[in-house]
Structure 1
């Protein structure tokens, strides 16, 4: 079996179309940025646009309806979102250092060490931000 090409290295005019639609030599290609993962992935549920937009607006409408300060609510929402950053950074670092997962694109030890240090700083800053926002 021939080694699969990296999705970015399209070699012909039809390759970008095949990559975008997940067909590359019989294998699923990685999701191209900006292309909704639900298209062609087997997710056949259809939620009407009006319902999706309404659910998206619901938190803002609740903040307005309850008379909460908009700026403070925005800050708290962003702090809560930042809580999820370590749950993305740590698995990303663990996966990108594994040659069995990344193949020739595996991170070097120096890159992993630098990224680990940066991730540690980000996690410490997030813990501090959570402490200051909710307890301080």
Structure 2
């Protein structure tokens, strides 16, 4: 019963984050496509929205960014907590978890770092660290010894391996491009 509720909660949280992100991309594409090629940063987009679509649209953009970030952070924190407590048996006090997850973001904001640069750097760091939990998750959830009756079926495991391979390949391409390594087939 708890697994079913947890699955639903994760699906709702990820769907909300995905829908918000898609809505922001669609809105940005529609608003900035013609005649606004200078919009390449989040704060520029926010400031350009007010004269184009009004203050309400700019406020909705800001709220959407915050909601998307919170939703993604909640899912990531829940996944980390489940892995640490459920699989590894390692418990970390909640105040330490919150401090570790919030401190880097607060430090970046307090330091006045360019938000776009910070976002790109965070995605590069995520690309470097994502393979470890992703591979562990595929291995653990496919193992009857670990998951018992809740272990993934073979078709689910194959889909998870294929999805992981796609994500890891895209992460590798991102890293290669970030460090200036040419990727064959990409200009």
Q: Output one character per residue of 1:77-116: Cα deviation in whole Å (capped at 9) or x when no partner.
A: 2221232111111011111111111111111111111110
What is the match of residue 8 of structure 2? Answer: none
User: 1:58 offset after TM fit, Å?
Assistant: 1.3
Question: Which of these residues, 67, 84, 89, is aligned with residue 134 of structure 2?
Answer: 89
Residue 103 in structure 1 maps to residue 148 in structure 2? yes
Whole-angstrom distance in 1 between the partners of 2:143 and 2:102? 40
What is the match of residue 59 of structure 1? Answer: 108
Question: Which of these residues, 2, 5, 8, is aligned with residue 7 of structure 1?
Answer: 2
Over the aligned positions, Cα root-mean-square deviation in angstroms equals 3.6
Residue 78 in structure 1 maps to residue 123 in structure 2? yes
User: 1:56 offset after TM fit, Å?
Assistant: 4.3
User: 1:42 offset after TM fit, Å?
Assistant: 7.6
Asked if structure 2 preserves the Cα contact closer than 8 Å seen for 1:98 and 1:106, the reply is yes
Q: Which runs of 5+ in 1 are unaligned?
A: 1-5, 11-32
User: 1:54 offset after TM fit, Å?
Assistant: 6.5
Asked if structure 2 preserves the Cα contact closer than 8 Å seen for 1:93 and 1:116, the reply is yes
Question: Which of these residues, 128, 138, 160, is aligned with residue 115 of structure 1?
Answer: 160
What is the match of residue 18 of structure 1? Answer: none
Aligned residues: 98
Q: 1:104 aligns to what SS in structure 2?
A: helix
User: 1:55 offset after TM fit, Å?
Assistant: 6.0
